[in-house]
Structure 1
Amino acid sequence: MGIQVLIVEDEAKIASLMESYLRTEGYEVLTAGDGIDAVRLYSRSKPEIVILDWMMPNLNGLDTCRKLRQLGSPGIIMVTAKSEESDKIVGLEMGADDYLTKPFSLRELGARIRSLLRRMNPGGNDDAASVLRRGELVIREDGLQAFVGDREAHLTPTEFKLLHLLASKPGRVYSRMQLLRHAFADEFIVDERIVDSHISKLRRKLENAGQPYDYIQTVYGFGYRFGAEHEN
């Protein structure tokens, strides 16, 4: 079975164009006309990627994104006519991993999906090299998973990308811009403040999973680092 993509779009013509293109690219495609249907389809099929329109009837894209994040960790690309940077930040803070502004080309959509899939599966194998161990924290590249002891912290692809980078080099300080460029596609750079939002959520999820201390440390006025004392 190939990569499955869920298109959530209430304009039938746009949904049909995206579906036809993605099928020719080799993806398995599901379609939903509103957020309620999207949540139902995701619960049943757990697609890897969700293309999510912002403005929809019954349940808007932001609320749908929030519900999908409660159900799993798909890669979510928000699609909308809203082009203001503040709107993009709101979408990302709600859990989206990328953002496309209408109108966009189908080739751009395909490129964003491929980029997001690479971020979601940086290791691509299931051997010891794909596992990072930092104290009680275990990070699995192959499954896009992080565990504190035996409890999983259910991370979004963006949160996982940030954690993996920081934990790969304990003690090294990364600026917000470095983290932003690593976590998002090169062509999609937004306000550096969005990093703070993702780090805050990442810390909270690790804490809820039972972390005994704060692995991620703030370097005030610059960025973040993974505590060197947790290297082993």
Structure 2
Amino acid sequence: MGGIRVVVIEDDLDMRNLLEAVLHQSGYEVFTAVDGRSGLELTRTAQPDVVTVDAGLPDLDGLEVLRQIRGFSCARVVMLTGRTHPADQEAAFEAGAADYIIKPFRPRDVRARIAALLQPSNPNAGGQRASE
């Protein structure tokens, strides 16, 4: 898995640390941000393959972060959220999310779903870093 970069945009410290640990154990290079604005900047500079975005960030709505990422990156974006309404999930996919995971979740499920997104046979796996 060497060389796979993941940006985690999550304001909850425990959740951010959990995601960082699980993804790092999977061999990914992990970068973290505590809010939407710093997450957008980190996504621009790190040029990740995958970005996880909490839907309920303190400064920008997660959907807005997703929309802005779509403006400059082909990274696969996974929304992590407590929002369970089907309209929220639909909005995320329409805005360009590759996956939508509802909290609470099992860490191994997040790891497996990110690995699946990175498989060449996955239609959402075709993104490239902006510099490529």
| Percent of pairs with identical residues | 34
Q: 1:165 — aligned with what?
A: none
- Alignment root-mean-square deviation, CA: 2.0
Q: Which runs of 5+ in 1 are unaligned?
A: 124-140, 146-153, 155-232
In structure 1, which of residues 144, 151, 155 is the aligned counterpart of residue 126 of structure 2? 144
**Matches of residues 13-92 of structure 1 in structure 2 within 5 Å?**
13-92=14-93
Q: 1:164 — aligned with what?
A: none
Tell me the secondary structure at the aligned position of residue 79 of structure 2.
strand
Amino acid in structure 2 at the alignment position of 1:9: E
Q: Which runs of 5+ in 2 are unaligned?
A: none
Tell me the secondary structure at the aligned position of residue 71 of structure 1.
coil
Q: 1:106 — aligned with what?
A: 107
Q: Does 1:7 align with 2:39?
A: no
> What does the per-residue CA deviation read over 1:166-200, in whole Å, with 9 as the maximum and x for residues that have no partner?
xxxxxxxxxxxxxxxxxxxxxxxxxxxxxxxxxxx
Displacement of 1:58: 1.2
Partner Cα distance (2:66, 2:19) in 1: 19
Partner Cα distance (2:44, 2:88) in 1: 27
Structure 1 runs, 4 residues or longer, greater than 6 Å off? none
**Matches of residues 59-208 of structure 1 in structure 2 within 5 Å?**
59-118=60-119, 121-122=120-121, 144=126
Tell me the secondary structure at the aligned position of residue 118 of structure 2.
helix
Partner Cα distance (1:14, 1:72) in 2: 24
Displacement of 1:72: 1.3
Structure 1 length-normalised TM: 0.52
Amino acid in structure 2 at the alignment position of 1:26: G
Displacement of 1:144: 3.2
Q: Which has the higher contact order (CA 8 A, sep 6+)?
A: 2
Structure of larger gyration radius: 1
Partner Cα distance (1:80, 1:24) in 2: 22
Displacement of 1:84: 1.4
> What does the per-residue CA deviation read over 1:140-177, in whole Å, with 9 as the maximum and x for residues that have no partner?
x9x937xxxxxxxx9xxxxxxxxxxxxxxxxxxxxxxx
Displacement of 1:60: 1.4
Amino acid in structure 2 at the alignment position of 1:88: Q
